Amino acid sequence: MKNPLLPLRAKIIAKTKQNDTLNCFRLQLDRPHQRDFQFVPGQFMMVGLPGYGDAAFTTSSDPRDNRKYFDICVRVAGELTAKINDLNVGDYLYVRGAFGNGFPEVKQNLIIIGGGCGFAPLKAVLLENIKRDDIKIQAFVGCKNKNTLLFSDHYADWQKRIHLNVILEEEPYPGLSEEKGFVTDAIRHADLLLDPIVYVCGPEVMYRFVVKELEIKGIKPENIYLSYERRMYCGMGVCQHCAIGSCYVCQDGPVFSVKYLRDNFEKHDVDL
Amino acid sequence: MKTEEWQKLVEYLLAHFDVYAPVNVVGRVKVKKVDSFDEIDWSGTIPENTFKSVIFPPNELLAQYRRGEFKEVNPDTRPVALVGMNILDLEALGLFDQVFAKDPYYLERRRKMFILGFSNGIEDDYRRYRIFHHDNEENVLEHRNFDIFIERQKNNNDIIFSGSALGQQWLEKAKIDDFENIEFVGFVPEQGVPKKITELRGRVAESFDHAIWEELNKSCIACGRCTNACPTCFCYDTVDAHHRDGVDRSRQWSSCFMNDFSSIAGGREYLDTVKKKIYFWYYHKFVRIPDQFSYAGCVSCLRCFKVCPAGINIVKVLQRLKDKNKNEKPTSSPEGENHRQDETK
């Protein structure tokens, strides 16, 4: 039996600075584990360092590259993440996973909505689908300011194939948004794709407002998927830290449809 | 069968296993490691502590970080026998067997664990438990995981049941042939989830706005003693500790009453009031576990009440939830009175 609680070693093979407090790390597991590694965008890894424990991070690389490597984005938010951000190429991280249920396979037009570093797992969805001719993709990126934006060096490239909307809370973003504002403002003023499936990831406080805008535009709750964050230790629905109602974010999520959330949770658990 | 006739069996177990059993220590019954038959308390009293610390150690080494890698540890492989386990704790063991069904550490430990259950009939105040526990049907043993079960009758005529091939082997070894085989047919009865569990689930599931939780928000001090004492609480954290050769990663009992239980990066805490914490505890036992396993999450041993410094009585809390009028104050408070000394009234 494979021991799901035993961390495997993963070498940092690239480190890309996004801003002062956030780096993306490209990781490669020791052989033969990387060759067998699989994830679906939206699933998460437990990533840690000896002496600092581990925490949940979603993968942001194209899942078709998972035999070679996978990427995670790490923002400094505590002791472990500060320590990870000090590491460099050649250093090791210790990982378990992938765990949970990711975003469903995309079979129709896709809208992705990312708030802050919540854009990380959506990048994996984007990379997996961006070259498809059978669907259209629209992306909304909301962030505090230019300094906290993720993957902005890819924007020019992505714009060749998708509708990209970027909006900042503190300043306009020349070329992409003339006014400052929230991601909900961008959604409200946009012409959304026809009959889309919508994937959202960001701070939980943003979900209620985003869902409201989407429903005003006629998108059904079963077509809106949200990714949730909770404290996690085991990743397998045992340790109880991530429980909401009768579900475990680690096992039943972290991605849930709005319909599922409304059907299964009380208002005091999930306010949508 | 008289006790003297099966004493030999326990003595054989003592010779082959590390045996844990209830012991009467100056009037207080506690589960301890024992070395002789005479130390064991066969009164049927529910011990103050549980067998949990043997089944699921409070601090268990998971992996050792040495020379750049995490390495698996070989769990303590000494065979253990849990002797004199009462029917309620046996029910709790059944829950753990389901919760940790994919946990290699638990499975390895459990594989080498011998279970000898014991019942001295129903305690005098058992009617108190029945208030919220499912009916103790006669066929309850076929849904429990044990090797041998001894049921003491009023006339001191003990009935012996074997629940596994291993149990039979040991009975044969002790030259006991007067026993009944019970075949384990799964944790959940064929007719489905016991009604009592479903009824309690409904009572707790939609009670978040009930006045009782506001009252407990004031009386509960969120110390977490109930979670330690409870035979079905199994929340855990993983913790790293520095070792002279590297780092040891362990798992430790956690408690949903602790402040960092639900906090995430950036400091947000989801269970940020005592009300949310205690509701989470009840919800886990009476809703989440039944939903997940069709099995009771509370075995009604009342240990949580016995250790609670605020005297919160789970029976009374559940009775209050029956109230149609959610905001009506009770005629008597759910906590405080009837505590400890008075509980046998």
A132 and A222 inside one domain: yes
Q: Can you tell me the mean pLDDT for B121-131?
A: 52
Nearest-CA distance B33 → chain A (Å): 28
Residue A64 lies in a domain: yes
What tens digit of pLDDT does each residue of B47-81 get?
999 999 999 999 999 999 999 999 999 766 789 99
CB A14 within 8 A of CB B71: no
- For residue B251, give both structure tokens: 């798992």
What tens digit of pLDDT does each residue of B296-331 get?
999 999 999 999 999 999 999 999 998 755 555 554
pTM (two decimals): 0.91
Residue A246 lies in a domain: yes
Residue A211 lies in a domain: yes
Which residue is closest to B66 within chain A, CA to CA? A50
Q: Can you tell me the mean pLDDT for B265-270?
A: 89
Q: Closest Cα partner for A242 from A258, A259, A254? A: A254
For residue B206, list chain A residues with Cβ-Cβ distance below 8 A.
266
For residue A56, list chain B residues with Cβ-Cβ distance below 8 A.
none
Of B91-100, B114-123, B264-273, B288-297, the poorest mean pLDDT is in B114-123
Instruction: Mark which of A99, A131, A157 sits at the end of a domain.
Output: A99
A47 and A142 inside one domain: no
pLDDT of residue A1: 65
A25 and A136 inside one domain: no
Residue A94 lies in a domain: yes
CB within 8 Å of A105: residues ≥ 6 apart: none
Range of the domain at A203: 109-264
* pLDDT over threshold 90, residue B252: yes
For residue A52, list chain B residues with Cβ-Cβ distance below 8 A.
240
Q: Can you tell me the mean pLDDT for A126-150?
A: 95
Q: Does B282 touch chain A (CB under 8 A)?
A: no
**E-strand spans in chain B?**
18-25, 28-34, 59-66, 69-72, 80-85, 113-119, 148-151, 159-162, 180-181, 236-243, 246-253
The residue behind tokens 């096992």 is A251
Q: Can you tell me the mean pLDDT for A62-81?
A: 95
Mean residue pLDDT of chain A comes to 95
Reported ipTM: the value is: 0.92
Residue A2 lies in a domain: no
For residue B247, list chain A residues with Cβ-Cβ distance below 8 A.
50-51
Nearest-CA distance B231 → chain A (Å): 15
CB A250 within 8 A of CB A236: yes
pLDDT of residue A203: 94
pLDDT of residue B342: 35
Query: Given an 8 Å threshold on Cβ–Cβ distance, is A7 in contact with B63?
Result: yes
Any idea what the CATH number is for the domain that residue A76 is in?
Answer: 2.40.30.10
B209 phi, psi to nearest 5 deg: -90, 5
A78 and A117 inside one domain: no
Identify the three-state secondary structure at position A157.
helix
* pLDDT over threshold 90, residue B333: no
Instruction: Mark which of A51, A78, A99 sits at the end of a domain.
Output: A99
A41 and A64 inside one domain: yes
Instruction: Mark which of A79, A99, A119 sits at the end of a domain.
Output: A99
Residue A115 lies in a domain: yes
Query: Given an 8 Å threshold on Cβ–Cβ distance, is B287 in contact with A268?
Result: no
- pLDDT band per the 50, 70, 90 thresholds, residue B123: low
- For residue B140, give both structure tokens: 């309850």
Residue A28 lies in a domain: yes
- For residue B226, give both structure tokens: 């109930």
A70 and A122 inside one domain: no
A115 and A231 inside one domain: yes
Chain A residues with CB-CB distance to B under 8 A? 1, 3-9, 50-55, 75, 77-78, 81, 92, 94, 229-231, 233-234, 236, 238-241, 243, 245-246, 266, 268
A137 and A253 inside one domain: yes
Query: Given an 8 Å threshold on Cβ–Cβ distance, is B287 in contact with A229?
Result: no
pLDDT of residue A31: 87
Q: Does B258 touch chain A (CB under 8 A)?
A: no
A202 and A153 inside one domain: yes
Query: Given an 8 Å threshold on Cβ–Cβ distance, is B263 in contact with A231?
Result: yes
* pLDDT over threshold 80, residue A209: yes
Dist CA B60 CA B240 (whole Å): 11
Which residue is closest to B241 within chain A, CA to CA? A51
Quick one: CA dihedral A127, A132, A134, A139, positive or negative?
positive
Any idea what the CATH number is for the domain that residue A235 is in?
Answer: 3.40.50.80
Quick one: CA dihedral B152, B153, B155, B157, positive or negative?
negative
Size of interface A-B (CB pairs under 8 A): 99
Residue A1 lies in a domain: no
The residue behind tokens 């079960």 is B149
Q: Can you tell me the mean pLDDT for B112-140?
A: 66
CB within 8 Å of A61: residues ≥ 6 apart: A26, A69, A70, A71, A123, A124, A127
Q: Can you tell me the mean pLDDT for B205-215?
A: 94
Query: Given an 8 Å threshold on Cβ–Cβ distance, is A50 in contact with B288?
Result: no
A74 and A135 inside one domain: no
Q: Can you tell me the mean pLDDT for B214-231?
A: 96
The count of structural domains within chain A is 2
**B84-122 burial, b for 16+ CB within 10 Å, e for fewer?**
bbbbbbbbbbbbbbbbbeebbbbeebbeebbbbbbbbee
Give the number of C-alpha atoms closer than 13 A to the C-alpha of residue B44, restricted to the C-beta side.
Answer: 16
Which residue is closest to A9 within chain B, CA to CA? B69
